[in-house]
Structure 1
Amino acid sequence: MAGLTTGGPNVDVSLLYRINGIARSAPEWFDRGVALLASYGLPLVMVLLVLWCWRGARRQDEAAAAESFAALVWAPLAAALALLVNVPLRGFVARPRPFVAHEGLEVLGGAGGGPGAGFSFVSDHATLAMALGIGLFLAHRRLGLVGIGLAVAEGMCRVYLGVHYPTDVIGGFALGTAVVLLLAPLAMAGLTPLVRALARSPRLGWLVRAKDRVVARPVELAQRPAESDLAA
């Protein structure tokens, strides 16, 4: 705890200065772009990924659609839970922001919020982004990998902006991942039956299943072997 409170290990501080130091030679428009990307761009893309995954899940068969939809519901719930866990954790570690403990950092885009802008470990943004990325991975592997990549980019942006140490970001990644995966079996066991019940609802069933989804009927399945035999 003492290492975190006083600014972290030397390699942590060294990486902080190297990543944040890029801002010294970067043009102002690039710094603004990173600040906008971290605050709005990456979260927006993450939301669009979740919506795209939901759109695809509605076209799956009933069992697969229920599992995918339950995972998509669990992703934001787990992210919110991870943020709640982080509240006492940040107060317990009480690590000052890097721009408070160290001089010469470029705090960009007003991201610091002033010298008294709370504690640093762990990063809320990194925790939230990685929890959503891992939750999306449970629903769709490829889109989940994209979401995890976006979470890594979000963490790098926080260090570039000068508001977090690299270990703050790594800690956020670990916290978000742990909450999602450790509680996923219990969460899925509770959410999946609810989603299946929702799918049978005449008014809200469209949330889980698409109207144009093609599902083979039992009669059609029973006729297919007979048709193939006649053809032979």
Structure 2
Amino acid sequence: MAGLALSGSNPDVELLYDINGLAKDAPQWLDRTVAYVGEYGLLLALVLLVLGGWWSVRRRSPSAEEAASSVAALIWAPLAAGVAVLVNVPIRGFVERRRPFLDHQGLDVLVSGKTDFSFVSDHATIAMALGVGLFVAHRRLGLAGIAVALVEGFCRVYMGVHYPTDVVGGFALGTAVALLLSPVASALLTPVVRAVAASPGIGGVVWRRPRGVGGVVAGDCAEESAGGRERDLAA
């Protein structure tokens, strides 16, 4: 498997040269910008989108119950990215695909020090897992997250550190983990988030009660009902 995509006639390699060739014709400041954005900036943007989703559902959810399920889905997004990276560890070890600049001459490599295996791209995996995980919880921000993930994949090839199929593989892995494990994650995380929402001290991190709306969470409603029954019995 180590010799995967070594042939110069391979469409994967040809597309690599076409995309990376844009870096050779671009001004140096643009290459430095793409290198920074592709290495750090876009992943940070995705984290900010997830935080924006949390802020949105916390303030706009009509009930604590709905907010709890949405926040649980948002928590799953970064967890999915972490799980996907762990899944990628044995995949990389099995495929053992070298970085493209080690086997192909003339590439403009914008980031040095990449010595690990190339397939699949961790950056593409993390980005798409975050984007798809966000989409499950918040459609509008999720679409923006997926768009950012696609740009991340393009940047990795532009930078000369990944083949296009490394990126496509990362997209597939991140999407699969985020979607396939989402029901299990929701079943495990939602009760925990619901318990946090029911806590008088920290429930506000899950749901901000709109002004004029009575009852903060289901737990408070249950306590009020129990108190009412006690008063009825006392009467």
Alignment of 1:86-125 (within 5 A): 86-108=88-110, 111-113=111-113, 117-125=115-123
Task: Give the aligned partner of residue 78 of structure 2.
Answer: 76
Contact 1:5–1:96, Cα closer than 8 Å, also in 2: no
Task: Give the aligned partner of residue 29 of structure 1.
Answer: 29
Task: Give the aligned partner of residue 164 of structure 2.
Answer: 166
- Name the CA shift for 1:124/1:9 in 2 (closer, same or farther; >3 Å): farther
TM-score, scaled relative to structure 1: 0.87
TM-aligned CA deviation for residue 46 of structure 1: 1.1
- Name the CA shift for 1:214/1:20 in 2 (closer, same or farther; >3 Å): farther
TM-aligned CA deviation for residue 2 of structure 1: 6.4
- Name the CA shift for 1:53/1:192 in 2 (closer, same or farther; >3 Å): same
Task: Give the aligned partner of residue 38 of structure 1.
Answer: 38
Q: Percent identity?
A: 63
What secondary structure, in the 3-state scheme, does the structure 2 residue paired with 1:100 have? helix
Distance in 2, matches of 1:131 and 1:79, equals 5
**Number of residue pairs the alignment of both structures matches:** 214
Structure 2 letter corresponding to 1:100:
L
Distance in 2, matches of 1:132 and 1:8, equals 33
Q: Which moved more, 1:6-15 or 1:176-185?
A: 6-15
Q: Which moved more, 1:84-93 or 1:37-46?
A: 37-46
- Name the CA shift for 1:82/1:212 in 2 (closer, same or farther; >3 Å): same
Alignment of 1:68-217 (within 5 A): 68-108=70-110, 111-113=111-113, 117-212=115-210, 215=213
Contact 1:7–1:96, Cα closer than 8 Å, also in 2: no
What secondary structure, in the 3-state scheme, does the structure 1 residue paired with 2:207 have? coil
Task: Give the aligned partner of residue 228 of structure 2.
Answer: none
What secondary structure, in the 3-state scheme, does the structure 2 residue paired with 1:64 have? helix
Distance in 2, matches of 1:176 and 1:39, equals 17
Gaps of at least 5 residues in structure 2 are: 216-220, 222-235
Distance in 1, matches of 2:133 and 2:211, equals 25
Q: Which moved more, 1:175-184 or 1:6-15?
A: 6-15
CA deviation profile, 1:16-51 (whole Å, cap 9, x unmatched): 000000111100000001011112221221121111
TM-aligned CA deviation for residue 112 of structure 1: 3.5
Task: Give the aligned partner of residue 227 of structure 1.
Answer: none
Structure 1 letter corresponding to 2:45:
V
Q: Which moved more, 1:136-145 or 1:62-71?
A: 62-71
Structure 1 letter corresponding to 2:173:
L
Contact 1:7–1:98, Cα closer than 8 Å, also in 2: no
What secondary structure, in the 3-state scheme, does the structure 1 residue paired with 2:4 have? helix
RMSD: 1.9
Distance in 2, matches of 1:156 and 1:123, equals 11
Structure 2 letter corresponding to 1:4:
L
Task: Give the aligned partner of residue 223 of structure 1.
Answer: none
Structure 1 letter corresponding to 2:117:
F
Structure 2 letter corresponding to 1:46:
L
TM-score, scaled relative to structure 2: 0.86
